[in-house]
Structure 1
């Protein structure tokens, strides 16, 4: 704008000089005459005198406006309650307040940010910072009051204020209040990703697996989490849900088993193929006495995808047909002859069928590939039953040493 003004001024001067050169000489010879008469007023002069009068009047008006502007500006500079000083105070208070907040000077931050909030037309950030500082000082009522003032001043910022409120409530340990705040916000803003994320973290922290499972579809729909994080959260939620279903308090075994089976059926089909979830469900079935169902489930799952963890668990189950179970596991041995876990499972299945010699061979073969404490314990128990007490004791000590070297101290020196 300044460049345009200067350009117009230069053009006006050039035009004035050109006009003077073209018309100046003829006008100099004829001074002209101006007459203004109105009722009793009469003014007459030459043209040049009239033009000069207009220029003087224009200059006087310009000087008067400039003087008024200077007076207003100087009045603002001198008046401590002027708008200029008010803006300056807000700026200084906000800068110092946020600096104090970042550096942990809570009392000073509270004082400066409250000052900035009272004088600013857009006080939201100052109220939120002041509420955080008051919360850090333990002034919880003041913190809630500041958030309420922020809501009164800027009601359109309800969501931002509620999210801050929930965070402060969690910092105080008021988990139930934070949950209530977020649930109200979810009712008002059902698709907001920050509300969903905070609810997800709260459910995860509280171990409320049923609520977390119910939140998963919205988290996926709104893309509130990355794919990898969402997949891990889904496994964790369903794992917790299965464990929770299998540990129903004040419920008999059939009722608990029904709840567990219902939770498994409610899972997405893709999760039924997750080895971790299969292992949790099968273990819960085993604990509740439904070993035949667990064995059948794992047998079908292992036919589709071989997994070491599931193979180890398979050896702890008593199916309806133990010989079929052993035959199935021996079929896996052809593709995995060096799997120590599979050999341990085969040994356990042989023990179920009282095939002592075959079980011993499988256990010893397993130890050649991996010295595992479970395998040592199983073989020690079998050897003790077969009368090989000395070797059995040695394997028990080895199992203890594998679990924790401190559990098997060095042998005492022989007495002399």
Structure 2
């Protein structure tokens, strides 16, 4: 339809020009001595228009010819830029695919012909991460140093990548410095806080670990289970630094109740108290946990049995009475039965000790129970039974070792 309108319009224009030319009957005299020439005024107008068009075309050709080298250079530059950005995309894909050498190679291709400083920074980040992944530390540091001259907007990414690289290389102090530089740019960046949490844990700074854990938990950057693991790790680091029973007791008072009831933490605390030879405090702590069915674990019952030889008679009898009550709700806890057997043997209650140890074996045969019965029967002079349990203990030990 547009083509039809164009044709109609051109014919209409031709008709108008024809009509106008019949109206204009004038002529023009061109005088160039000694010549004189008369031409139609309409022809002169057409000639002038054609001359102008020819002059314009000639000037355009001259301009195009003059600009041709620049056009060629621009075309080549655009071609190189297209190849550069293609290489940058290939580098990113190769890095995510785990082909780090190819990623570094493609990233370097994209830097020289790239005019965007952001893209250059991205290429250097990819190259640095790839070099670090293949263990080329010299190249890694070189790429990171080149990033220092990049624009301010790329510095946060640079510090975060450097922090992760240093952390992976087990360089916690350098990683922490990079994280602190990142947080100076964006103080509440959760990914930076998560990195700092790992670094502080590696540096054994439990107070900072606990603070960061709470901060990330409030920001929904950690789930409850992750927070529990970080807290437990921090408490263990604090626990390892105590040199006396009093310090441990004061520390336990400062811990939130929900954390103090963690069976793993109770077990670690009891082991630390045992290492400090605070056997009574360890027994008291374990007994408190075993009295709660939700806290009680076989590991805690085993620790209680190991304390039997190190606590006084009055405490052993109290623990036996309490443990018998615990058995009412956990009658098939073989470790609790084993602990009762050890407590009874330490009190020289041979009959009770034999009964508890055999009950433990009936639930689950263990090396410890057979070894305890071997010692029990050897003590009371029943050598044949002692030998039987010694052989059974040896058989279980061989099975576990093979």
TM-score of the two chains, using structure 1 as the length reference: 0.73
The equivalent residue for 2:386 is 392
Say whether residues 1:369 and 2:363 are aligned partners: yes
- Structure 1 Cα separation of the partners of residues 186 and 251 of structure 2: 29
- Where does structure 1 lack aligned partners over 5 or more consecutive residues? 1-6, 35-44, 247-254, 409-416
Say whether residues 1:230 and 2:227 are aligned partners: yes
| RMSD, aligned α-carbons | 4.3
The equivalent residue for 1:144 is 141
C-alpha displacement of 1:161: 0.6
The equivalent residue for 1:258 is 246
- Structure 2 Cα separation of the partners of residues 137 and 203 of structure 1: 26
User: Are the counterparts in 1 of residues 283 and 304 from structure 2 also a CA contact under 8 Å?
Assistant: yes
User: Are the counterparts in 2 of residues 373 and 399 from structure 1 also a CA contact under 8 Å?
Assistant: yes
C-alpha change, 1:28 and 1:238, in structure 2 (3 Å) is same
Q: Among 342, 348, 372, which residue is 1:348 paired with?
A: 342
Say whether residues 1:308 and 2:297 are aligned partners: yes
C-alpha displacement of 1:92: 5.4
TM-score of the two chains, using structure 2 as the length reference: 0.75
What do residues 15-58 of structure 1 show as CA deviations (whole Å, max 9, x unaligned)? 9489879x969966984799xxxxxxxxxx98999799779968
User: Are the counterparts in 2 of residues 282 and 294 from structure 1 also a CA contact under 8 Å?
Assistant: yes
The equivalent residue for 1:220 is 217
- Where does structure 2 lack aligned partners over 5 or more consecutive residues? 27-39
Describe how 1:163-178 pairs up with structure 2 within 5 A. 163-178=160-175
- Structure 1 Cα separation of the partners of residues 359 and 205 of structure 2: 45
Say whether residues 1:272 and 2:268 are aligned partners: no
What do residues 273-316 of structure 1 show as CA deviations (whole Å, max 9, x unaligned)? 21111222223223323333333333333333352333333344
User: Are the counterparts in 1 of residues 305 and 340 from structure 2 also a CA contact under 8 Å?
Assistant: yes
C-alpha displacement of 1:385: 0.7
Say whether residues 1:191 and 2:188 are aligned partners: yes
Equivalent position SS for 1:79:
helix
- Structure 2 Cα separation of the partners of residues 313 and 83 of structure 1: 75
C-alpha displacement of 1:160: 0.9
- Structure 1 Cα separation of the partners of residues 220 and 102 of structure 2: 38
C-alpha displacement of 1:98: 5.6
- Structure 2 Cα separation of the partners of residues 65 and 12 of structure 1: 30
Q: Among 322, 326, 332, which residue is 1:332 paired with?
A: 326
- Structure 1 Cα separation of the partners of residues 390 and 82 of structure 2: 80
Describe how 1:8-407 pairs up with structure 2 within 5 A. 13=6, 16=9, 31=23, 72=67, 74-76=68-70, 78-79=72-73, 83-88=77-82, 90-91=84-85, 93-94=87-88, 102=99, 104-105=101-102, 108-109=105-106, 111-116=108-113, 119-122=115-118, 123-132=120-129, 135=132, 140-205=137-202, 208-242=205-239, 244-246=240-242, 255-306=243-294, 307-309=296-298, 310-317=300-307, 318=311, 321-405=315-399
User: Are the counterparts in 1 of residues 101 and 131 from structure 2 also a CA contact under 8 Å?
Assistant: no
- Structure 1 Cα separation of the partners of residues 161 and 401 of structure 2: 51
- Structure 2 Cα separation of the partners of residues 323 and 51 of structure 1: 129
What do residues 136-178 of structure 1 show as CA deviations (whole Å, max 9, x unaligned)? 6766455334323323222222221112222333455534322
